[in-house]
Amino acid sequence: MAPRISSTVDKKLFGLYLSDHLAGATAGQGRIERMARDFTDTPFHAELSALAAQFREEREYVRGLVGDFGLPRRTPRRAAAWLAERAGRLKLNGRLVSRSPMTLLLESELMRSAVLGKLGMWQTLHDLSGDLGLDGSRFDGLATQAREQIATLDRVHEYARRRSFYTNQGS
């Protein structure tokens, strides 16, 4: 079935919705790729790298949907998300040249929230799939993947919170 927006769906609102999620995906992709690069010294490097690859694929899929539906590309939203992600790196963590022990904790918390929002998008797209001419089972798979991503980030968070505030870097 070729993608098309049914006349029962408000195309402008749907376009804004996808654009906002594309902006979020842009920021999330940058953040998870940075985590994969920065935390090679943790037991989660391979999992973070796998998440980065999944995030890239998902972002491209959403970008493709925007194009397939002929929705306007809202570059300022994506640019603002990109800038916000970069600005988020400039947090005062008591360290000037080295990474704070709490960085992984904060990053995993932020990314869990982001993936929860993405899960909501996959659920929404599943609900709208009939009105969009899309196969709803694709969104079921993406929702399952998002739940697995949250589980991975939960494990990263557990690891980080056991180490973030201790002088000996945890147990």
Regarding pTM above 0.95, the answer is: no
For residue 87, which phi and psi values (nearest 5 degrees)? Answer: -65, -35
Residue whose token pair is 């049914």: 6
User: pLDDT tens, 59-69?
Assistant: 999 999 999 99
Please say whether the beta carbons of 72 and 15 come within 8 A.
yes
CA-CA distance, 160 to 169, in Å (whole number)?
A: 9
pLDDT of the residue at 72: 86
pLDDT band at 96 (very low <50, low <70, confident <90, very high): very low
Six-digit token string for 27: 């920021």
* Average confidence (pLDDT) over 70-82: 67
Please say whether the beta carbons of 5 and 11 come within 8 A.
yes
Identify which has the larger pLDDT, 74 or 54: 54
Name the 3-class secondary structure at 96: coil
User: pLDDT tens, 27-43?
Assistant: 999 999 999 999 999 99
pLDDT band at 73 (very low <50, low <70, confident <90, very high): confident
Helices 45-68/11-38 angle, 10° precision: 160
CA-CA distance, 48 to 15, in Å (whole number)?
A: 30
pLDDT band at 3 (very low <50, low <70, confident <90, very high): confident
169: left (phi over 0), alpha (psi -120 to 50) or beta: left
Identify which has the larger pLDDT, 2 or 142: 142
* Average confidence (pLDDT) over 140-149: 98
9, 13, 16, 70 alpha-carbon torsion, rounded to 10°: 40
Least confident of 8-17, 88-97, 128-137, 147-156: 88-97
The answer to whether residue 158 scores a pLDDT higher than 90 is yes
CA-CA distance, 156 to 63, in Å (whole number)?
A: 28
Least confident of 2-11, 63-72, 75-84: 75-84
